[in-house]
Amino acid sequence: MARFTNLGNIFKTLREANLSAIRQSAERPLHLAVIGEAGAGKTTLIQQMRHGAREQEQFPSVVSEIELPDLPGFQNLAGLTAAILVLDASQPTPEATQPAVDRMRSQGVPLLIALNKADLMAGDHETLLSDWQGRMPAEVVLMSALQHADIINILIPALLRLIPGYGLALARALPVFRQPVSHRLIQETAVTNAGYSLTTGLAEIVPILDVPFNLADMVMLTKNQALMAYKIALAMGLPPDWRETLPQLAAVVGGGFLWRQIARGLVGLIPGWGIIPKVAVAYAGTRVTGIAIYHWAATGEKLSPRALNQLYRQALDQGRELARRLIARRRERPALASRRNCPACGRRVPADAAFCPYCGSALAPALPAPGTPQ
C-alpha cells in the first residue's frame, strides 16, 4: 500500500490521454471582445483582466477592444468566444446598444452586459439590474471596473456561467481569472472526494469489503487530487508539460499529506460510526492540498507545516459539516434495492453507491426499488 502514499507515485498511474484532454481544454482558442463607448470603462476592465501577472509574463492576444460605434464594421463576430458590452450605468444608454445586442445575438455570440460605474450611482441598484435583466436577452451585471472585488465576485462568475468549459483557458490567458478558477477547482474536487468517501464508506459495514474498499479509496481520491493539481498548474500559467509540472507539485505538499492525515484520523475507528470523520478527512486533505499548490503557484513559496495544519483543522470542521449534510440528504432519498453489479468489474456493490468500492468506476444512479413512490 505504500506505493499509493505519495502524490508523485499516483501521477504515474494517470493516463497521459486524460492529462492531454485537460491541457487541450486549457489551451483551447479564446477570443473575447470588450465593447463600449469612450469613457465607459472598457480599457479599465481589460487592465483588470491582466491584474496579478507575474513579472515578464507574456500573454496571447485574446482580447479585442472595440468602440461601440465601430461594431458594425467588425467582421469577425462569429469567431468570438464571448463579448462583454461595457455601459456607463450613470449615463443615458447609447442608441447603438440595442442594435449591437441584436447583432451579437443573431451571430450566436454569448454576451455579457456590464453596467459599469455602479459606485457613482444613487438609487436602487437592484431595481436597475432587474429592469435590464428583464429587457435584454443577455447576462447582465452591475459593477465597478475600478473595484477588484467586483471583478472577482460579480463579473468573473457571470462570465464563467456564460461560457462553461472555458475556465482553464480564461485563467491561463488572463491572470484575474486565476484565483477564482483555482478556488472553484479546489472546492469542487474536495466535495467530489467527500462524496466518494461517503459512498464507499458505507461499504465498511460489510467486513469482506474492508480491504478492497481501502485500496480503491486511496487510488480514486489521490487520482482526483492529481488531476486537480494539474488543472491548477495550467490555470496559473505554469508549463503545460505534465512531466515537468506534476513532480514539482508533489514536492509542494510533501507527498502523502492527505494520507498521513487519514491515518491519524481513522486508525481504530469502528466501521459505521467512522463515516463522518472519514468524509471530513477526505474533504480537508483535498482542500488543503489544493490551497498549498495554489499558494506556491501564485507566490513561489511553500506553506509552512504550521500553516498547513491550521488550514487542515479549519477544513476538517467544514468537512464534518459537509458530511452531515450529505448523510442527511442521502437519508431523504427513496429506498433502493440493496445490491447491484458494477458494470466495469462485475462485482456486487451497494445499490446507492456512486463509485465502485473495488475498481473505483463511476456508477449510474440506481433505480428505486419496485413499489417505491416516485
Kind plus residue range of the DSSP H or E element containing 66: strand 63-67
- Residues 334, 368 contacting (CB under 8 angstroms): yes
Question: Where do the domains of the chain lie?
Answer: 2-23+177-332, 29-165
* Cell triple for 211: 480491504
Stretch 287-309: mean pLDDT:
90
CA–CA gap between residue 21 and residue 255 (Å, rounded)? 25
Q: What's the pLDDT tens digit per position in 302-314?
A: 888 888 889 988 9
Going by CATH, does the domain composed of 29-165 fall within 3.40.50.300?
yes
* Cell triple for 44: 479599465
pLDDT band at 336 (very low <50, low <70, confident <90, very high): very low
Among the listed residues 48, 40, 89, 27, the one whose alpha carbon sits nearest the alpha carbon of residue 67: 40
Stretch 332-345: mean pLDDT:
66
- Residues 33, 84 contacting (CB under 8 angstroms): yes
| Maximum separation of any 2 CA atoms in the chain, in Å | 72
Burial tier of 371 (Cβ tally within 10 Å: 0-12, 13-18, 19+): exposed
* % the chain with pLDDT above 90: 35
pTM, two decimals, is 0.79
31-60 b/e with 16+ CB inside 10 Å = b? Answer: bbbbbbbeebbbebbbebbeeeeeeeeeee
The more confidently predicted of residues 76 and 373 is 76
Q: What's the pLDDT tens digit per position in 174-200?
A: 999 999 999 999 999 999 999 888 877
The more confidently predicted of residues 163 and 277 is 163
pLDDT of 369: 47
Stretch 255-266: mean pLDDT:
50
- Residues 213, 291 contacting (CB under 8 angstroms): no
Asked whether the predicted pLDDT for residue 371 surpasses 70, the reply is: no
Distance of CA 9 to the CA centre of its chain: 24
pLDDT of 34: 94
pLDDT of 225: 86
The more confidently predicted of residues 357 and 355 is 355
User: How many CB atoms are located within 10 Å of the residue 64 CB?
Assistant: 15
Q: Across the strands, what pairs with 34?
A: 65, 84
pLDDT of 359: 61
CA–CA gap between residue 298 and residue 304 (Å, rounded)? 15
pLDDT of 141: 93
Residue 364 identity: A
Q: Across the strands, what pairs with 112?
A: 84, 139
Helix (H) and strand (E) counts in the chain: 14, 7
User: How many CB atoms are located within 10 Å of the residue 368 CB?
Assistant: 15
Stretch 133-154: mean pLDDT:
90
